[in-house]
Structure 1
Amino acid sequence: MRLIIAEKPSLARAIAEALPGGARREDGALHAGETVVTWCLGHLLEQAPPDAYDPAFKQWRLDHLPILPTRWQLSPRPKARGQLAVIRKLLKQAREVVHAGDPDREGQLLVQEVIEYLGWKGPVSRLLVSDLNRPAVQRALARLEDNACFQPLYRAAESRSRADWLYGINLTRAWTLTGRQAGHDGVLSVGRVQTPVLGLVVRRDAEIRDFKPYPFHVLWADLAVAGGQLRAWWQPGENHRLDEQGRLLERAPAEALAAQLPGTEGKLTSLESRQKRQSAPLPYSLSALQVDAARRFGLSAQAVLDICQRLYERHKLITYPRSDCRYLPEEHLAQARSTLESACGSDDTLRGWLAGADFSLRSKAWDDKKVGAHHALAPTGKPAELERLERAEADVYRLIARNVLAQFYPPLVVCEVKAEFTLQGECFRAGGQEMLQPGWKPLFTTREEAPPLPPLTEGEGCRVTACEVEDRETRSPEAFTDASLIKAMMNIARYVDDPVVRRTLREHDGLGTEATRAGIIETLIERGYLVRQKKSLRATRLGTGLIASLPEAASRPERTALWEQRLTAIAERDDDPAPFLASLIEDLHGLLGSADANRLRQAMATAQGEAAAAVSKRRGAVGKSRRGRGATGRTRRKQRTKA
């Protein structure tokens, strides 16, 4: 008997349906001739708790820390024993086993740890399924690989699991026990990913709270030129008081110049015209989709992940969704036309986009060298009856299909024009762009980014028809949203201060994984560290106090991003996991030594005071705004501009 072990029941059903002769269900498995397909229910096993290593560890005590297992153990999850018994029984009858976990690091771990836990010593093949439709599964079944080729991926996943246990168990116990000494009754959870994510939000909230706006001033002039009208902006020189972004901090120079401008004639002294070609955005990874869906439809990251899972498992409309890749296999290009015609034919919007596609084009999205264990999200080709889907499901599906269809549109071509005028001896600049070829752009928006300038010739004259000084004010950074926080987790190097580490992380960017980022946000909310205020994510007093009480290294992204770099080296280059875990244990000793009840008590008190001050500041701003709306005297136009 050949036994196929799938990661979850939906994948097992898809595999069984692709086998010849059909399958019958019996005792937690699907039987199809000489092949039996069974399944896990997500992780059937988990790292054993501390008291499995020593019963004394059931009681939380600081003098037990750090807890460092010498022989790692796994334990069945509470609801997994029945399915584990099914797999154990089937393994005794099997002559070969096929590992059918999802095509990623965690999928490799999830099934292989079960196979090894149950003591199987025979041959194991690897089945990689990223599309649950029958033809795709049949193709995957026809090209099984040796599971031994995936041992580095397994070791990386196993190392990640053990490292997370070491880090989370020890630091959570240390800070919870210290918290009790400081008067906090409850668990203070610390994790290698969730805590740096919380740190991002806490630091952003502090920037917003401590931000002090200041005014600056701009001067524009409307100019009549031979070809029409345009607006140009004064570029004050260094002889004026400017901030670091070149903004004018004193109004008087702008007023003095504005008084001289009406009716003044000047000259176009510099004209630069450049044609730019821009290829279509690549197909989506999960995180890129979560960012766009949050901005367009207000969906949380977790909602987008849940929708994608339904589109993949229940509706079978998209390929494997938990992907960090934005490229597609080159072999998919030959079937792209038939796949998209089938996938998009029943929806008016998709049908309109499909009609404009040119399937003779080939974009950079088709690249085997950039496709790893899985590829970008794409339609499977199953006809999509979008009227039968929930509205959010249909919205997300259209985004996924659109980004693949866009690969068969020509590039966007624009002509960017930059003009400099001299008026009263001062420099004024104007800019605009003209769309020469819309290409893929109409699939994404009908709005032009910048209006074109009228026809211009270098050296031609101009005349000022109007001018005005505008008073503006710097604006604080914006609070994180689901979209911006996911994007920050994807591009974490931007939040790293050390230039050497930052350069390294650009090659290995990412805090968390495609599969975990949405869950991290929800976990922080459930544990009371974050709260949603409309679309914004803000840190609570508890979250702010926890970050203030931790060593800075525990709440910054450098450590966990470098972890991912080490894990990638284990997975891709077969590096030895032992030095990685040894380095972590060394770090743990230092981190545990910094747990301090007085520091935690002070951090919580400070966080409470800051929260009260922030509420008072917001109330004051609201009151000021209401009084301003009721005023009847002279008003000055103020436009808030991001600092």
Structure 2
Amino acid sequence: MKSLVIAEKPSVGRDIAKVLKCSKNINGAIEGEKYVVTWGLGHLVTLADPEAYDEKYKEWKMEYLPMLPKKFELVVMKQTSNQYKTVKTQIHRKDISDIIIATDAGREGELVARWILEKAINQKPVRRLWISSVTDKAIKEGFLHLKNGKEYENLYQAAVARAEADWIVGMNATRALTCKYNASLSCGRVQTPTLAMIAAREEEIKSFTPVPYYGLVGKINGMTITWTDKKSNGHTTFERSKIEELYSRVKGKTGVVCERTSTVKKVYSPGLYDLTELQRDANKKFDFSAKETLNIMQHLYENHKVLTYPRTDSRYLPNDIVGTLKERLESISVGPYRKLAGILVKKPIVTNSSFVDDQKVSDHHAIIPTEQYVNLENMSYDERKIYDLVVRRFLAVLYPPYVYEEVTIKIDIEKEDFIAKGKIEKSLGYKEVYEKSSEDETIDDKSTVLPNINKNDVLEDIVFSITEGKTKPPAPFNEASLLSAMENPVHFLEQKKKALIQTLGETGGLGTVATRADIIEKLFHSFLMEKRGKDIFITSKGKQLLELVPKDLKTPELTAQLEMKLSKISTGNLKKQELMNEMTNYTKEIVAEIKTSDGTFRHDNMTNTKCPNCGKKMLLVSGKNSKMLVCQDRECGYRETIERTSNARCPVCHKKMGLKGKGDAQIFTCACGYKEKLSAFTQRRKKEGAGVGKKDVANYMKKMKSEAQAPVNNAFADAFAKLKL
């Protein structure tokens, strides 16, 4: 008898098969003496569309809402149906004694496998492989410690509850909005509050009034002294008259040094990466989108096997990983990391609670290098960037702290305090890992040596000046700051209740580390928000949507409460049906509110360009990286890309250029005014020896066209395609 192993993806399946000595390829699976390894392609099974429950749901009509299935049905996804048949065949083989789930170790990974088993009506015992990396060593260790599948039943129930709750809220709210306002409008418990945060930030910026503030500084012997308020310890005031009076009082006066202190300070490395923190840094440093970073991380995890599981929300390691740290250091001792890692390998590994804590690790630990030896030449340029971030952060936490001596001089002038601060660097510590660039930009690495001034010294000829500034509005969101807000949306809660704040902190805010990138992409593809440079702004369509959706769907509270209850289900402290009863009642309320609403929706992006298929006027929409003309009639579905942001850099200002037009007439344009025909661009790049020829450009154009033809609203594209407006 043999065990059937079900992995989440082919690449992981092949890795497991190699370790288990399975070498016989059969259609969609690999067989050995003791095991058969097969895989999903992500999800092979999903929740059925509404029409599966009743033929009438093929038509989108308000009177049919809400749609509330008594029992949710599973369907095989058409695009991966052949692989499902393969897995099902293997499940029901007579020589298969049990099933080993080897999908990603987490809530969604559990759902991928369990839905397959449920749809295939599996009756065989189930065991679980639970690992955080897919190196040969990790797989071998995992198979030595397989878990009973029943231990993860509650996790599965939580995953099902999440999927079913999102179905009834999303499907019903989307159909209700679309039918009510005759426009393709979608909403959901995560995407809508996220959109609302962007709108709220724009409103904060719009309504912000700058307020001037003032300070007072003095210069003496190359040293700057700054006035400090004795009550608040602040250095500025909003009262100009106060500073002017102070200036008049101290001008031309002498000062007496009343205090000189010296303190040695230690600064420890920033913590290890979880996915969200890595996505933030990659966006700040390389302008990678959250989705791009996740895709690169997935490749480094699955294909190169040099980094651990990416979809983690922990920045800590468990104690049982500590024994492997030296081996991981040896594996990264190549290229620019050889010397840095070598220093640590020669000494005992020193850990502390800032990055090793069993209590702060749930499903997966922080992202760190694996024990797999690295060949940097096999990585792409972008993969090297992400790998470098993770490796340097890993090295940094193992290095000693950055140490400096802070010297503070307090000077009394007319009974007012003035402070001067100096800094003497003692030990670079973890900053050696980052060479010339500091990872922690809040710390100034430069030493500032103060003059040899001691207590009771009298200072004369001090030159004073008033400083001025204005308060600044909050910055518009970019992907990095939006990820931060999704992770901690407390600022955007309407009710600052302690319980909700605690829940959002415990559950990780809006979405999960695994879904935030997709939520951001969905909002772009739905034309609810757009990019201007690096900044993100809500579109007119997005603003109108927020005016039309029920209030509850616009705040993070719903998600906070749902995630708290999902967590309780996963630990066995709440029954799934209790949550579903609540979500059913909530959905009824949402639909009723939309039905009775007196709001209106208008297309204010209508153009005079007529659709070549049906003749109706087209809408101008801005996607994440392109501008399109889309037919207002969804049944027609015609659209064309008229401009898109390319990866080609302007030779004048080096910013990304836009690409307009069709065929050979296409022109690269830049905001600085530079223009260049596609043919001229191709020739120039060829002469520059960049290795980009006509074929490369053609392939790039094909890729851009493919992206332009992606679903306008990918979450509900299939459903909307059936809608007749």
TM-score, normalising length: structure 1: 0.86
1:405–1:246 Cα change, 3 Å: closer
Q: 1:183-230 deviations in whole A, cap 9, x for unaligned? A: xx3x11101111111111111011112222232222211245xxxx53
Aligned position for 2:14: 13
Q: Does 1:155 align with 2:157?
A: yes
Equivalent-residue separation in structure 1 for 2:550 and 2:333 (angstroms): 52
The equivalent residue for 1:637 is: none
Say if 2:312 is the partner of 1:319. Answer: no
Aligned-residue offset at 1:560 = 0.7
Cα distance in structure 2, aligned partners of 1:549 and 1:449:
48
The answer to whether the 8 A contact 1:363-1:408 is kept is no
Tell me the CA shift for residue 603 of structure 1.
Answer: 9.2
Name the structure, 1 or 2, with higher relative contact order (CA <8 Å, separation 6+).
1
**Residue number in structure 2 paired with 1:593:** 592
Instruction: Give matches, 1:484-499, under 5 Å.
Output: 484-496=481-493, 497-499=495-497
Map 1:114-263; keep pairs closer than 5 Å. 114-180=116-182, 185=183, 187-224=184-221, 229-235=222-228, 247-263=236-252
Instruction: Give deviations 1:69-106, integer Å, cap 9, x for gaps.
Output: 11111111111221111112111112111111101110
2: distance between equivalents of 1:46 and 1:165? 11
Alpha carbons of structure 1 residues 506 and 223: separation in structure 2 relative to 1, 3 Å: farther
Paired residue for 2:323?
334
Instruction: Write the mapping of 1:608-627 to structure 2, written as runs, cut at 5 A.
Output: none
Q: Contact conserved, 2:46 with 2:115, CA < 8 A, in 1?
A: no
SS of alignment partner, residue 531 of structure 1: strand
Amino acid at match of 1:231: T
Distance 2:601 2:522 in 1: 25
1:613 paired residue number? none
**SS of structure 2 residue aligned to 1:46:** strand
What does residue 372 of structure 2 align with?
382
Shift of 1:593: 2.9
The reply on whether 1:427 has 2:417 as its aligned counterpart is yes
Aligned partner of 1:536 in structure 2 is 535
2:41 aligns to what? 41
Query: What is the match of residue 552 of structure 1?
Result: 551
Q: Secondary structure at the match of 1:136?
A: helix
Question: For the residues of structure 1 that align with 2:80 and 2:376, how far apart are their CA atoms?
Answer: 36
User: Following the alignment from structure 1 to structure 2, what is the Cα–Cα distance between the partners of residues 122 and 563?
Assistant: 32
**Residues of 2 paired with 1:414 and 1:237: CA distance?**
26
The answer to whether residue 266 in structure 2 is matched with residue 264 in structure 1 is no
Q: Tell me the secondary structure at the aligned position of residue 37 of structure 1.
A: strand
Is the 2:176–2:595 contact (alpha carbons within 8 Å) kept by the matching residues of 1? no
Contact 1:322 1:514 in 2 (8 A): yes
Q: What CA distance in whole angstroms lies between the structure 1 residues aligned with 2:283 and 2:256?
A: 46
Q: Which amino acid aligns with 1:393?
A: E
Change (3 A) 1:445 1:548: farther
Conservation of the 8 A alpha-carbon contact between 2:332 and 2:341: no
Alignment of 1:355-374 (within 5 A): 355-357=342-344, 358-364=347-353, 365-374=355-364
What displacement does 1:236 show?
5.7
Displacement of 1:493 in angstroms is: 2.8
C-alpha distance in structure 1 between counterparts of 2:514 and 2:24, whole Å: 32
Give 1:472 shift. 1.6
Q: Distance in 1 between matches of 2:71 and 2:449?
A: 71
Counterpart amino acid of residue 380 in structure 1: T
Q: CA deviation at 1:156?
A: 0.7
Cα displacement (A) at 1:301: 0.9
Question: Secondary structure at the residue paired with 1:70?
Answer: coil
Look up the match of 1:412. 402
Q: Which residue of 1 aligns with 2:636?
A: none
Deviations 1:353-372 (A, max 9, x none): 21342443123323333322
> Aligned Cα RMSD in Å?
2.6
Residue deviations 1:103-134 (CA, integer Å, cap 9, x gap): 11100111011111111111111012322221
Asked whether the equivalents of residues 326 and 349 of structure 2 are also in contact (C-alpha less than 8 Å), the reply is no
- Equivalence for 1:306: 295
Query: Separation in 1 of the partners of 2:558 and 2:104?
Result: 27
The answer on whether the counterparts of 1:416 and 1:431 sit within 8 Å (CA) in structure 2 is yes
**Which residue number in structure 2 is paired with residue 449 of structure 1?**
444
Matches of 1:404 and 1:547, distance apart in 2: 42
How far apart, in 2, do the equivalents of 1:557 and 1:456 lie?
55
CA distance, structure 1, for counterparts of residue 307 and residue 72 of structure 2: 38
Q: Pick closer, same or farther for the CA change 1:191–1:232 going to 2, 3 Å.
A: same
2:266 aligned to 277, 280, 283, which one?
277
**Mapped pair 1:77 → 2:64:** no
Alignment partner of 2:371: what SS? Answer: coil
Cα distance in 2 between the residues matched to 1:272 and 1:503:
40
Superposed CA deviations along residues 289-339 of structure 1, whole A, max 9, x for unmatched, are 111111122211111101101111121211111111212232332232122
In 2, Cα distance between equivalents of 1:223 and 1:48: 76
Of 341, 352, 358, the residue aligned with 1:354 is 341
1:238-269 per-residue CA deviation (whole Å, 9 max, x = no partner) reads: 9xxx9xx9853343443443345444212344
Q: Distance in 1 between matches of 2:597 and 2:425?
A: 62
Task: Name the CA distance, whole Å, in 2 between partners of 1:602 and 1:34.
Answer: 61
Cα offsets for 1:472-523 (capped at 9, x unmatched): 2222110111111111112223433413222443333321111111111111
Corresponding residue number in structure 1 for 2:385: 395
For 1:546 and 1:344, the matched residues in 2 are separated by 53
Query: Residues 133, 60 of structure 1: CA spacing in aligned structure 2 closer, same or farther, 3 A cutoff?
Result: same
Shift of 1:282: 2.4
**Aligned residues of 1:350 and 1:398 also touching (Cα < 8 A):** no
How much has 1:465 moved relative to structure 2? 2.7
Unaligned runs of 5+ in 1: 607-643
**Number of corresponding residues:** 590
- Which residue is 2:114 aligned to? 112
Contact 2:332 2:338 in 1 (8 A): no
Q: Which runs of 5+ in 2 are unaligned?
A: 606-725
Preserved contact between residue 271 and residue 397 of structure 2 (Cα < 8 Å): yes
Distance 2:51 2:209 in 1: 51
Which residue pairs with 1:477 in the alignment? 474
Which stretch of the first structure deviates more once superposed, 450-459 or 490-499?
450-459
The 2-side partners of 1:518 and 1:253 are apart by 49
Aligned match of 1:522? 521
> C-alpha distance in 2, partners of 1:486/1:48?
31
Distance 1:441 1:256 in 2: 44
The answer to whether the 8 A contact 1:356-1:409 is kept is no
1:617 aligned partner: none
Q: Is the 8 A contact 1:545 1:604 kept in 2?
A: no
C-alpha separation between the residues in 1 aligned to 2:430 and 2:350?
A: 12
Residue 566 (str. 1) matches residue 531 (str. 2): no
Q: Structure 1, residues 426-475: CA drift from partner, whole Å, max 9, x if none?
A: 33334454444332133246455275462665554333532222232222
* AA aligned opposite 1:15: I
SS at match of 1:593: helix
Distance 1:416 1:114 in 2: 61
Q: For the residues of structure 1 that align with 2:177 and 2:257, how far apart are their CA atoms?
A: 66
Secondary structure of the corresponding residue to residue 593 of structure 2: coil
The answer to whether the 8 Å contact 2:275/2:310 transfers is yes
Helix, strand or coil at the partner of 1:594: helix
Gap change, CA 1:503 and 1:230, over 3 Å in 2: farther
SS in 1 for 2:332: helix
* Cα displacement (A) at 1:417: 5.0
- The alignment-based identity, stated in percent, is 31
Report the CA distance shift for 1:434/1:197 in structure 2 as closer, same or farther (over 3 A).
Answer: farther
Deviates more, 1:59-68 or 1:572-581: 572-581
Residues 230 and 453 of structure 1 are in contact (CA less than 8 Å); yes or no, is this contact kept in structure 2? no
Contact 1:322 1:515 in 2 (8 A): yes
Q: 1:465 to 1:596 in 2, by over 3 A?
A: farther
Secondary structure of 1:480 counterpart:
coil
